[in-house]
Amino acid sequence: MDSGGERYLEMRRRLELYFERRNCLAPDELADETLNRVARRLEEEGSIAADCPAQFCYVIAKFVFQESLRRTNTLVELPPDAPLATAPQVETNEHVLACLDDCLQSLAAADRELIVEYYRGEQRAKIEQRRALAARLGVSTNALTIRACRLREKLERSLKERLSER
C-alpha cells in the first residue's frame, strides 16, 4: 500500500503530466499551484465535496490551466514542416551516456536489468519479450509495465539532475 507521501508525489506527477500534455510552459509549477489550492481548500472547509480526492484535484487543475491560458503560458505548436531545431539538442553524446551509466549504477542490479530488458527490442518482438520477462519475474504484464515506467521516470529524473549539474 502506498504511503501518503507517495500518493502525494504520484498525484503531483499526474498533474505535471496533465499540464505538460496541455503544452504549458511550467508544468511543475502549475502542479504545485494546484496542490497548494487543494490544500488551502481543505484547510478552509475541512473536507472536499467530490467523489474522490483525485477528481477534486483535476477540477482545480482545470481552473489553474484556464488561468495559465489567460497568461498565455503555453507553447506554440510548430508547423509540420518546421526545421527541427531540436535535432542537435537530442544528440546522445558520450557525456549523456556517461551520466546515464552513473544513473544506472545507482539502481539496484535487478532494476537495472529490468529496465534494460524491458525497453529492448523492436515492435512485435518487444511485446513478446515483455510477456516473457513478466512470466520470468512472476508478475502480470500490467505490473511489469508500471514497474518499468517507475524505473524509467526515476532514471529520467536522475539523468536530468546530473545533466543540469554541468
Q: Which three cell numbers stand for residue 3?
A: 504511503
Task: Output 52 or 108, the one with its CB closest to another protein.
Answer: 52
> What's the CA gap between 29 and 32, in Å, rounded?
5
Residue 80 in contact with another protein, rule: CB under 8 A: yes
Task: Output 21 or 71, the one with its CB closest to another protein.
Answer: 21
Q: Which stretch binds another protein (CB under 8 A): 37-45, 55-63, 132-140?
A: 55-63
How many residues interact with another protein (rule CB under 8 A)?
60
Residue 69 in contact with another protein, rule: CB under 8 A: no
Task: Output 39 or 98, the one with its CB closest to another protein.
Answer: 98
Contact with another protein (CB under 8 A) among 35, 38, 57, 64: 57
Q: Which three cell numbers stand for residue 135?
A: 512470466
CB-based contacts of 141: which residues, under 8 Å, 6+ apart?
Answer: 130, 131, 134
Which stretches within the chain are classed as H helix?
4-21, 27-45, 53-70, 94-105, 109-118, 123-137, 141-164
